[in-house]
């Protein structure tokens, strides 16, 4: 209770302090209904579709969430880095390899930044790429079936934060390093960090037909914290920009020690130059270990392999590869406007927005207007790179997105607001409070040449009093604004899942007609498939019992199995032989120390059950599939280990002795 009082007074003090800052948490509530017509703008009539798909990061839930906008209706949870008992992802034999890493099986991660694939700088709706921050990985979600198709681990990295952003033809997915580490990993004193800990900026190539990723090369960098990144586009295509903090290379109490210098850097990487160096054989092949997991759409199975080599380019020794641009203190977001000319560095601790000019950066590079170097990498003169500075537009700028009319929209964490300003003139046009403490924001097509300035989604970090209280932990608040007018108008306020870090929004027309409705049973090449009553069977191989089972409305075949013994490992290979849209069946086995599996039409999946005691145990369909769903069940008889009960199986006494 004492703690509670203490906490309450701290919070009260905090609220008092912040409410003094411009546009801060005023405490007065505003929301849909406060302005006339807001409800109509987000109303999607029953049976009608939303105009946009939004792919929201699920943060520490490890998953990606597909929403419809403007209604903010949750359409699907896409399991990526965390096990999902609802579908069986990460529990079935087919999907478990997707969560394998060089450290072994990991059931969770922290999913940050979704980025939708592009062609010619426009979103094309083929794939969404996302990053795991904790154990560095990049995943590719296929938008034909909204499933995770591939996960690749990023070696020589830690805190995979400035990821997974793509170049404008999806040539590369880029992954950075937030936490410098010894490369290769080795036992050494932490206090020897400076100069010895390193970072990697990793470029993953993408096969344009299959989407399959591969590590093309890594750029070895000084051990700064690479926070966020965005690709150059149009005129600046060929470059990639990363914000950095902790250029002090502190390793303890970073809160203070990484905030000593007045400026940190934007690292500008010339990846076309990197390609040249690779061609010239300047890359050094280093031994390492990382996992590469690929889903096969014919066998419905993920294959996990460990790879052991990576090609490295050392930024300190290869001129023209990387330039450091001094920027606002400890910048967070690194955002490039639709024309590719302006690179916005959101100065988290300086409160200034520094607008760098691509043309000026090129000029400074050409004329070698350097003010020094760090680890052999040239540092450009600050004033030679900037188009201008938005002075004190708010407190704690984090991220900026753009519309198609030359405006930028920036979130301010501390002053809890979103500010609209004109990119060319850096003039502030509007500011609206956000509830509370916004982080990322998203405009449809935001990270591309062609944003669609219709809606703005603000993803807040703190919820407080926005919804009915549900105890101490609250879901993060999302707020949707209409940005078609001069002033931003708050339309909708809705709770999100996990902590969304960034989102990708795309017009539904680019995705919806390409989605699959079923998996073709003819093309099912799963080794455990049973396509009909002629194939169903139960086989014993030592202590392993393999059940090849089918499911269709509304029965399993077989639904009676006898001859299983205590100590056996039973593999249920279950095929949904329906070929109709949206008729999945579930499979759940009593006492299985596992999840259910939800099997969609045409697919085969495998659940393992290790019966521990003799008895007769039911299994059943978990997804209400027809009027006879409650009848969709079966039994497995488990006999003692030394029993002579013959292995038999059947349905309605067929095949049964």
Partner 1 sequence: MKKFVLLLLAAFIMFGCASNSEKGKPPKFKAPKIAKTEEQEPVYDKVDGVAVDMNNKGIGPVKSVTIPETIDMALAKEGEGIYNALCLACHRPTQKFIGPAPKGVLERRSPEWVMNMIINPEKMVAEDPIAKKLLIEYNGSPMANQGVTEEKARAILEYFRTL
Q: Which residues bind partner 1 (CB under 8 A)?
A: 518, 521-522, 531-534, 550, 552-555, 557, 577-580, 583, 626-628, 652
Asked if residue 323 lies in contact with residue 329, where contact means CB atoms within 8 angstroms, the answer is: no
Q: Residue 552 CB, nearest distance to partner 1 (Å)?
A: 5
Task: Outline where DSSP puts E strands in 297-332.
Answer: 301-314, 322-327
CA 465 vs. chain centroid, Å, equals: 28
Q: Among residues 400 and 557, whose Cβ is nearest to partner 1?
A: 557
Q: Residue 577 CB, nearest distance to partner 1 (Å)?
A: 6
Q: Residue 513 CB, nearest distance to partner 1 (Å)?
A: 18
Residues contacting residue 445 through CB under 8 Å, at least 6 positions apart: 122, 123, 451, 452, 505, 506, 507
Asked if residue 472 lies in contact with residue 482, where contact means CB atoms within 8 angstroms, the answer is: no
The DSSP 8-state label assigned to residue 38 in this structure reads H
Q: Residue 203 CB, nearest distance to partner 1 (Å)?
A: 42
Q: Among residues 441 and 529, whose Cβ is nearest to partner 1?
A: 529
Q: Among residues 379 and 518, whose Cβ is nearest to partner 1?
A: 518
Q: Are strands 334-336 and 342-346 parallel, antiparallel or unpaired?
A: antiparallel
The count of other CB atoms within 10 Å of the CB of residue 124 is 17
The DSSP 8-state label assigned to residue 615 in this structure reads E
User: Buried b vs exposed e over 634-654: b needs ≥16 C-beta within 10 Å?
Assistant: bebbbbeeeeeeeeebbbeee
Asked if residue 291 lies in contact with residue 284, where contact means CB atoms within 8 angstroms, the answer is: no
The count of other CB atoms within 10 Å of the CB of residue 383 is 11
Separation of alpha carbons 628 and 362, rounded Å: 69
Element (DSSP H or E) covering residue 376: none
Asked if residue 540 lies in contact with residue 647, where contact means CB atoms within 8 angstroms, the answer is: yes
Q: Residue 548 CB, nearest distance to partner 1 (Å)?
A: 13
> Distances from the Cα of 454 to the Cαs of 65, 403, 443, 446, in angstroms?
21, 8, 8, 11
Residues in the chain: 657
Separation of alpha carbons 397 and 328, rounded Å: 11
Q: Residue 582 CB, nearest distance to partner 1 (Å)?
A: 11
Element (DSSP H or E) covering residue 3: helix 2-20
Separation of alpha carbons 484 and 305, rounded Å: 48
Q: Among residues 454 and 555, whose Cβ is nearest to partner 1?
A: 555
Separation of alpha carbons 302 and 524, rounded Å: 14
Q: Among residues 369 and 516, whose Cβ is nearest to partner 1?
A: 516
The DSSP 8-state label assigned to residue 602 in this structure reads T
* CA-wise closest residue to 498 among 77, 68, 25: 77
Dihedral (CA of 639, 642, 643, 644) sign? positive
Asked if residue 562 lies in contact with residue 648, where contact means CB atoms within 8 angstroms, the answer is: yes
Separation of alpha carbons 112 and 557, rounded Å: 42
Helix (H, G, I), strand (E, B) or coil at 275: helix
Matching residue, tokens 């209904």: 33
Q: Residue 531 CB, nearest distance to partner 1 (Å)?
A: 5
* CA-wise closest residue to 169 among 113, 124, 110: 124
Q: Residue 19 CB, nearest distance to partner 1 (Å)?
A: 59
């Amino acid at each position: 209770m004492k703690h509670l009082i203490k906490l309450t007074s701290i919070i009260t003090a905090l609220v008092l302090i912040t409410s003094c800052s411009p546009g801060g948490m005023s405490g007065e509530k505003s929301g849909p209904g406060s302005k006339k017509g807001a409800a109509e703008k987000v109303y999607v009539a029953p049976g009608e579709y939303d105009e946009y798909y939004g792919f929201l990061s699920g943060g520490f839930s490890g998953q990606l969430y597909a929403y419809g906008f403007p209604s903010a209706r949750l359409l699907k949870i896409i399991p990526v880095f965390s096990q999902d008992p609802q579908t069986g992802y990460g529990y079935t034999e087919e999907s478990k390899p997707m969560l394998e890493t060089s450290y072994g099986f990991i059931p969770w991660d922290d999913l940050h930044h979704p980025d939708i694939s592009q062609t010619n700088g426009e979103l094309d709706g083929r794939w969404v790429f996302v990053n795991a921050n904790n154990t560095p990985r990049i995943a590719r979600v296929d938008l034909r079936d909204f499933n995770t198709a591939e996960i690749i681990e990023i070696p020589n990295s830690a805190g995979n934060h400035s990821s997974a952003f793509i170049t404008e033809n999806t040539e590369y997915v880029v992954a950075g390093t937030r936490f410098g580490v010894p490369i290769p990993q080795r036992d050494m004193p932490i206090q020897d960090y400076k100069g010895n800990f390193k970072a990697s900026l990793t470029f993953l190539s993408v096969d344009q037909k299959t989407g399959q990723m591969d590590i093309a090369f890594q750029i070895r960098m000084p051990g700064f914290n690479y926070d966020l990144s965005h690709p150059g586009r149009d005129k600046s295509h060929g470059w990639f920009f990363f914000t950095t903090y902790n250029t002090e290379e502190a390793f303890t109490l970073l809160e203070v020690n990484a905030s000593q210098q007045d400026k940190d850097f934007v690292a500008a990487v010339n990846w076309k130059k990197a390609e040249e160096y690779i061609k010239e054989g300047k890359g050094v092949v280093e031994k390492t270990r990382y996992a590469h997991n690929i889903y096969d759409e014919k066998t419905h199975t993920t294959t996990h392999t460990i790879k052991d080599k990576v090609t490295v380019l050392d930024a300190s020794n290869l001129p023209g590869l990387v330039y450091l641009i001094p920027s606002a203190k400890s910048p967070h977001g690194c955002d490039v406007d639709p024309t590719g000319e302006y690179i916005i560095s959101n100065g988290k601790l300086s409160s200034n927005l520094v607008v760098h000019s691509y043309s000026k950066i090129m000029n400074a590079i050409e004329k070698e207007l350097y003010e020094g170097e760090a680890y052999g990498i040239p540092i450009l003169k600050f004033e030679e790179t900037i188009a201008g500075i938005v002075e004190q537009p708010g407190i704690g700028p984090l991220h900026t997105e753009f519309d198609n009319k030359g405006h930028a929209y920036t979130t301010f964490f501390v002053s809890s607001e979103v500010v609209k300003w004109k990119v060319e003139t850096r003039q502030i046009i509007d500011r609206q409070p956000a509830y509370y403490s916004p982080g990322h924001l998203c405009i449809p097509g935001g990270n591309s040449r062609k944003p669609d300035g219709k809606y703005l989604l603000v993803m807040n970090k703190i919820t407080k009093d926005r919804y009915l209280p549900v105890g101490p932990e609250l879901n993060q608040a999302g707020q949707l604004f209409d940005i078609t007018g001069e002033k931003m108008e708050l339309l909708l306020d809705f709770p999100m899942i996990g902590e969304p870090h960034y989102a990708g929004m795309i017009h539904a027309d680019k995705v919806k007609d390409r989605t699959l409705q079923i998996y073709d049973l003819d093309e099912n090449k799963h080794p455990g498939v049973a396509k009909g009553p002629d194939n169903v069977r139960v086989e014993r191989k030592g202590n392993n019992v393999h059940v090849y089972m089918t499911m269709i409305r509304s029965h399993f075949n077989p639904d009676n199995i006898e001859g299983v013994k205590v100590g056996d490992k039973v593999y249920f290979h279950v095929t949904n032989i329906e070929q109709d849209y949206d008729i999945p069946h579930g499979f759940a086995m009593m006492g299985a120390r596992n999840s259910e599996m939800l099997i969609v039409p045409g697919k085969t999946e495998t659940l393992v059950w290790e019966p521990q005691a003799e008895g007769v145990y039911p299994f059943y369909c978990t997804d209400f599939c027809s009027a006879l769903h409650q009848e969709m069940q079966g039994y497995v008889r488990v006999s003692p280990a030394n029993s002579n009960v013959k292995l038999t199986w059947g349905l309605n006494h067929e095949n049964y002795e």
